Amino acid sequence: MSNDNCKEYKKYFLLYQESIKEIKELYTKFKKTGDLELQKEFKELKKRAEENKRKYEKFAYEKIEDNKDTKKTKERILLDLEDTELNENTSWKTIEKLSKISNIEIDLTNIKQEYKNRIINWKGSIIDKSTNVNYENLQTVGGYLSAKNAETFSADALQTVEGDLNAINAETFSADALQTVGGYLDAWSARTFSADALQTVGGYLDAENAKTFSADALQTVEGDLNARNAKTFSANALQTVGGDLYTGNAKTFLADALQTVEGYLDTKNAKTFSAKQLTDVSAIHLTKSNFTDLLDEDKEINNAFYEKAEKAGRLILPEETREKIKWW
C-alpha cells in the first residue's frame, strides 16, 4: 500500500489533534478569566474537532484492497501500519503497541533479539525471515506465524497459534509447550519433531522428514498428517485425522487411541502396528513381507495369522477393520 493512500486520514488526524489542543488551551483560559464570551469560540472548536475526527475515521477505517492479497480487504490504518519498516532502532514502545493490534501482519525480522525475547502475547500475525528464529517468552499468536526461512525454530514457551505455523525449512523445530495450532503446521524439514504438549492442529501437519515423530498429547489433526520418513511414530492420544495419515517408513506404529482416519493410512513398512480402536478408515497399507515370520506355510492371510500377530503384539486392530488392510 502506498503512502499516498494514507495522506487523507493522516491529515485529518493531525487536524483533529490540533483542535483538541486548542480546546484544552481555551478551557485553561476560561478557568483563569471566567469569560463567558469564550463559549462561542469553544463551540466552533468542538464542531471543527468532531468534523475532523469524522473525516479521519472515514478514511482510516475504510476497507480497501490488500495489495499483498487482492482477495482480501483491510482497514487503511492497518495496512499503513503493516508498511512500517521495523529495524534494530525500533523502540520497544512501538513493538509493544503493535503487539496489541489484532488482524495485522508485522515483519519482526530486523528488530533486536532482546525485544523478540520480551514479547509474550501477539494479537496479530508475525512474519520473521531470519534463518535463526527464536522467541524465548512468546506464548500466544492471534494470527499466523511465518518463519519460512528459518533453519532453526525455537519458541519453547509458545502455547497457541490461532492461524498457520510455517517453519517449513527448519531442520530443528522446538516448541515444547505448543498445544494448539488453528491452521496448518508445516515443519517439513525438521529432523526431529517433538511437540509433546500439542493437542490440536486445525489444518494439515507436515513433518515429512522427521526421523522421529513424538506427539503423545496430540488428539486431532483436521487435515493430512505427514510423518512419512519417521522410523518411529508415537501418538498415543491421537483420535482423529481429517485426511490421510502417512507413516510409510515407520517400523513401529503406535496409536492406540486412534479411531478415525478420513482418508487412507499408509504404514506399509511397519513391523509392529497397534491401533486398538481404529474402526473408521478408508484403507490401511501394510506390506505382507514384514510379517512373513508370522505367516503359515501357505503364506495366506487368515484368522490364525491375525491371532498369532495379535498375541505377539505385532498387529493389533479391531476385527472389523481387518478387511480395510490392503496388503502389498
pLDDT tens sequence for the chain (328 residues): 444 455 676 787 788 888 899 889 988 888 888 888 888 888 888 898 888 888 777 776 666 666 565 566 666 666 666 667 889 999 999 899 889 888 888 999 999 999 999 999 999 999 999 999 999 999 999 999 999 999 999 999 999 999 999 999 999 898 999 999 999 999 999 998 888 899 999 999 999 999 988 888 999 999 999 999 999 888 889 999 999 999 999 999 989 999 999 999 999 999 999 999 999 999 999 999 899 898 877 678 888 899 999 999 999 999 999 999 999 8
Phi, psi of 246 (to 5 degrees): -105, 115
Q: Contact, 230 vs 247, CB < 8 A?
A: yes
Three cell numbers written together for 253: 506404529
3-state secondary structure 201-227: ECCCEECCCCCEEECCCCCEECCCEEC
Question: Pick from 208, 156, 163, 205: which is nearest to 181 by CA?
Answer: 163
Alpha-carbon torsion 83, 88, 90, 94, what sign? positive
3-state secondary structure of 88: coil
Instruction: Please state the pTM of the whole predicted model.
Output: 0.78
Three cell numbers written together for 27: 478551557
As a whole number of Å, the end-to-end CA separation of the chain is: 55
Task: Give pLDDT, residue 2.
Answer: 42
Q: In 67-78, which positions are buried (b, 16+ CB within 10 angstroms) versus exposed (e)?
A: eeeeeeebbbbb
Kindly give, in sequence order, each residue whose CB lies less than 8 Å from that of residue 55, ignoring residues fewer than 6 positions away.
Answer: 8, 9, 12
- Residue 34, burial from CB neighbour count under 10 angstroms (0-12, 13-18, 19+): exposed
Task: Give pLDDT, residue 1.
Answer: 40
Nearest-angstrom CA–CA distance, 42 and 47: 9
Q: Contact, 235 vs 215, CB < 8 A?
A: yes
Residue 182 per-residue DSSP state: S
**Which residues, listed in sequence order, are joined to residue 240 by a DSSP beta bridge?**
220, 260
Nearest-angstrom CA–CA distance, 186 and 182: 12
Q: In 282-298, which positions are buried (b, 16+ CB within 10 angstroms) versus exposed (e)?
A: eebbbeeebbeebbeee
Alpha-carbon torsion 15, 17, 18, 19, what sign? positive
Q: Contact, 295 vs 276, CB < 8 A?
A: no
Three cell numbers written together for 222: 483436521
Tell me the domain boundaries of the chain.
3-77, 88-327
